[in-house]
Structure 1
């Protein structure tokens, strides 16, 4: 396993993790500066997710590009998008910067998953992808709280400058530490879509999308839930985001290890289903500080736990269109995020309750977990996961 190369890939997901999740921790601050409501500020989350959904399919036109060169290009776009966010003068320009910041997200994870698997042995594929994704969980553990602290002490604009510098460091690390791994066989434009004729990829995409909407409707508004409902001070959000990041880090690490030992779909389905009781308890007990913190950690572990098994899984099911398949799962995640932020905001406006988003999406979480369990029982339980090229 090429540890330096995987670390370089993880630096990129670290930068992506800060820019995506920092917004949740400073949503109230951004809303005040942009003169919009908190529910209206959910557009900043949706704009980023929209960029992901637009940027990932662009890989269709990059299939002949060397994988390392493509990773360098994506790192550069991450840097530019965040520096634009740092200087955005108003609501719409900030939305545009967030959209640009999201463009490389799905593509980076998609290509990065393929490169990570090539830097490790087949038996360690899920763990290698977990290391790459681990950069994002470290971001939630360290980077996002640091960014929240910088925003509170100095300026949220400075926080986005730091993210841009992290992306610059990613560019240099990939240039010097990631080897020129073998590219993928060009199956032609149409050949990249051939894997979509089978059911397993759609079970993965559907399970991810529904689960993400259900869980992320809650997490998108964790800021007001903790400060307004549970009664934590604004300054407390820095260390609370550390604990949320610890949940994500632990969920990703444990699920990645389990994905090497057991069938990935079974691991992902179990992790996703575990969010159901957590969200129910958060709805009823979230106004108690200790309960809110403990349940937040468990909820973020479930939020991230399905990522590495399924990101590795889809590469095997997308033969001929590996880059597209690996990017599409990020489209599913971030389309879920965009819908969740919009949906959660509508629920808050309708119910006048910041806690309602914790439970309205539970049926979607359940259906998504059932889809992943169906994948396990009918495709992986006996035959295992198809090997990537």
Structure 2
């Protein structure tokens, strides 16, 4: 009975982290769905309103290492509660902000806890897991992002279009408070990472493998964002779907992400995070090229939307575990920087994917850019494999 109770408590704890993923997923992606409504209500252009997306990413990049550096010495449970309360406050401020400037400030502030929550949450999830199931547990937390894209974002976008986008962000604020309460109720009180000073943890930045894994995340996942940033014109202009089909198409992509997220966690536990990441990235190269070549065929375009979404999210948990295992003594700091690098991948993929479109190469051209970025990520995996192999051989020679 005690074993069953422990298993039940572990699952409940992981669900609280999943709720955090839903809150942050809605916070990040809702803005894209209600962007025209925000622009209209503030009497600003769409590009100006788009700065609200960019400044959130900037908050994530800055906040991930800084907040973990400041809060890493405290028990993770208390930190996660505090981060969720910050998310609730930031979204509430955004929902009532009367001016464009205040909206920018609130979006930046609500971006600060994003990377820290996922970074600390990933380490907590791995510690709650049974040996050999760490990546699977981490994938449960990141499942919140897929649920947000399948249910939360479409629902919030509908409310934003038909009632008010401000109500959508009030709902997110309430969701974040529910998450904080669930963490307080069900997440166990784990000890802080260590008494190590931030200056000691920051030594992880001197390790070559840290920067290679960061590169895999920032460049390799750029393939995802080169694809999804321009999926609307790809589907409407190339596949010739009606614009009204974009909502169900995005739901299909979200379902693929959900399936891929759990599959990636299980594969990483079975084969190792590095091998799984390597294989997924090289498969992503082939699939993105296939998307570019066959998207004019509607049934194939739908199928590949599901598959590409699955591959894109399947790599998240393996990369997170790869970073955690490569940063002993600084797991939370290193894990949080993965979120910063993922947002860099967001910006990189969207920017580079747009260049060939602007040059007149058409709406399938971002897929070739994405394939190239994923290929670079794969080669970085090979480099990391070689480094680990060389290091292990050196240890064996030294022992002999």
Q: TM-score, normalised by structure 1?
A: 0.89
**Residue in 2 aligned with 1:107?**
116
8 Å CA contact 1:269–1:372 kept in 2: the answer is yes
Verify: 1:4 aligned to 2:49, yes or no. no
Given candidates 255, 260, 263, the residue that maps to 1:251 is 260
Counterpart of 1:177 in structure 2 is 186
1:47 and 1:338 in contact (8 A); partners too:
no
Aligned match of 2:249: 240
Q: CA RMSD in A?
A: 2.6
After superposition, the Cα gap between the structure-2 partners of 1:287 and 1:329, relative to the gap in structure 1 and judged at 3 Å, is: same
**Please, which runs of 5 or more residues in structure 1 have no aligned partner?**
384-389
Equivalent residue, structure 2, for 1:159: 168
Residue deviations 1:130-172 (CA, integer Å, cap 9, x gap): 1111111222222222223333443333222222221111111
The residue number in structure 1 matching 2:196 is 187
Separation of aligned partners in 1, 2:83 and 2:89 = 10
**Corresponding residue of 1:60:** 69
Query: Matches of residues 269-288 of structure 1 in structure 2 within 5 Å?
Result: 269-288=278-297
88-97 vs 130-139, greater mean Cα deviation: 88-97
Deviation at 1:227, TM superposition (A): 4.2
Match of 1:22 in 2: 30
Unaligned stretches of 5+ residues in structure 2: 1-6, 393-400
Q: Measure the CA separation in 1 of the matches of 2:170 and 2:368.
A: 36
Q: Is the 8 A contact 1:195 1:317 kept in 2?
A: no
Partner of 2:398: none
In 1, Cα distance between the equivalents of 2:31 and 2:326? 33
Q: Distance in 1 between matches of 2:134 and 2:152?
A: 26
* CA distance 1:209–1:223, change in 2 (3 Å): same
Q: CA deviation at 1:296?
A: 1.9
Distance 2:389 2:150 in 1: 33
TM-score norm. by structure 2 comes to: 0.86
Distance, in Å, in 2 between the alignment partners of 1:93 and 1:295 is: 40
Indicate if the aligned counterparts of 2:288 and 2:370 stay in contact, CA closer than 8 A. Answer: no
CA contact (8 A) 2:219 2:348 kept: no
Q: How many correspondences in the alignment?
A: 383
Larger Rg: 2
Spell out, residue by residue over 1:226-281, the C-alpha distance to the aligned partner (whole angstroms, 9 max, x if none). Answer: 34554444543332222111111111100100111111111012112222222223
The answer (yes or no) to whether the contact 2:352–2:369 under 8 Å persists in 1 is no
Report which stretch shifted further, 320-329 or 270-279. 270-279
